[in-house]
Amino acid sequence: MTIGLYDSGLGGLSVLQAVRALLPDHDLLYLADTAYCPYGPRPIEQVRERARACAGWLVNQGASLVVVACNTATSAAIETLRAELPLPVVGMEPGLKPAITATRTRRIAVLATGGTLTGNRFHHLVERFADGVEVQTVACPALVEQVEAGDLDSPRTRAILADYLAPLPAAQVDVVVLGCTHFPFLTPLIAEMLGPGVTIVDTGPAVARQVARLAATHCVQPGVGGLRLATTGDPNHMARIVPQLVGVKAGVEQAVC
């Protein structure tokens, strides 16, 4: 029995890492929809159709539980997938609730893609939890491309990130939420630039705990700890970048969906 995960590209590997740490004996299948990456600038209807295609591919490959390891795809399609698929579906959302619990200044920032920040799910999340807390949103589309290239600490990546983070100290932001699954790979750089007084919230571990709960509830049994990787883009490129991101060397299949 397999747990399937997908993202627009390689960012969801940060969620896969968290799931593997918690469920090391479960078999995992990861699909990177790299041919359509990034999702952020795409119309919501297209992201929803890609969600259907990717989740359907995972199910056809034997997934018993699907993780939408992408905030933009979750915002666009999670209700649709839950209505259409006969199995548990786990999504992502920016960790506003833990951020609001942690803030002392009552000012937090959310780094995400435009597709996440303009979605109804995010606005409902702010309305539900952010009473009395100032939420500064920062759309960071260029960071997705840097992570996809495995470029985590070059002068160019530093310059892009410094530009995005520049307004936060003056705004007295003391908690930063990573609202895109690509961004945890940049946590060391973000922490360095913002300093020790800023807490960084990554929802990957919380999502992994939800996956573990649902796997137990729905009898998704452990296997042999196997890992399959696939992409709708260039398998050779993904195979080169995956070891850099998650320290795993594995073959990458070509997926058509």
Contact 61, 6 (CB under 8 A): no
- Catalytic-role residue among 37, 54, 180, 257: 180
SS (H, E, C) 17-83: HHHHHHCCCCEEEEEECHHHCCCCCCCHHHHHHHHHHHHHHHHHCCEEEEEECCHHHHHHHHHHHHH
- Catalytic-role residue among 37, 70, 140, 257: 70
The answer to whether 70 is a known catalytic residue is yes
The answer to whether 140 is a known catalytic residue is no
How far is the C-alpha of 140 from the C-alpha of 126, rounded, in Å?
A: 19
Closest listed residue to residue 183, CA positions, set 107, 89, 90, 110: 110
Q: What residues are annotated to the active site?
A: 70, 180
